[in-house]
Homo-oligomer: A and B are copies of this chain.
């Protein structure tokens, strides 16, 4: 359990390092030290060294990292050497925004199918030229198009059913934007983008600007004395 969480945070940092390396490569840099990378991108140099060491010792003493080399390794680690085929289910505003999103790495992710259940939308094309299909054919299309990742952008009430259908068709990776926590079957990973949690963490920050203030503040809510320790179960 714990290992998995560490690993998720670590791979998220690898994603960030990869983006930094891409910028460095674009600016013509051939090598970079963890310190220079930390300074330029506001990261932690010790953390960079630790993360990269975990996946093998890529650094060279006195040189640092070879930018292209390390970038290629990170892409391998993150599974970005094969292009992943992606479908979006639900072409409301959010799904449409995602279908037209400019921030994806299109070498690694290719949006190949769009599904909706609204007859008025089926057959329409998005800005990218892709046609919206009826969600009645989801399973079939997922199989024939070898889709590996599904982005769920349907209302909360429909999300569970969509997850069911796409995992039934063999999808093992899902990005869920519906405001509902989905519990996938074993072997399937769902990344939930939960806007409520993100907003509540901002609200928490506004209520408790510093960690110290947090602790002081929260102790005010203590209602039970020490004898209650260990209760609450």
Which A residues fall within an 8 A CB radius of B? 1, 3-5, 7-9, 11-12, 14-16, 18-19, 33-35, 41-42, 44-45, 49, 52-62, 64-65, 73, 76-80, 84, 86, 92-94, 96-98, 100-105, 108-109, 148-149, 155-156, 172-175, 178-181, 183, 187, 189, 191, 193-209, 211, 214, 218-219, 221-224, 228-233
Contact = CB atoms under 8 A, between A and B. Distances in A.
Given A57-B224, A105-B199, 9 more contacts: A7-B214, A15-B201, A42-B183, A61-B231, A80-B203, A84-B206, A173-B206, A175-B199, A191-B201
Copies in the complex: 2
Given A201-B12, A206-B84, A206-B173, A57 B19 contact: no
A48 B11 CA distance: 26
Most buried by B among A44, A187, A214, A219: A214
Nearest to A70: B232
A149 B202 CA distance: 8
18 contacts: A11-B200, A12-B201, A15-B196, A15-B197, A16-B197, A19-B181, A34-B232, A41-B181, A49-B233, A58-B224, A59-B228, A61-B230, A76-B221, A84-B202, A94-B94, A173-B206, A175-B202, A193-B198
Contacts of A205: 79, 172-173, 189
A203 B193 CA distance: 16
Nearest to A189: B205
A179 to B, nearest CB: 2
B60 A232 contact: yes
A68 B233 CA distance: 16
A1 B203 contact: no
Contacts of A8: 201
B195 A103 contact: yes
Nearest to A36: B233
B156 A103 contact: yes
Contact of A59 (B109, B193, B233): B233
A125 B3 CA distance: 48
Contact of A207 (B79, B228, B230): B79
Contacts of A204: 11, 14, 77-79
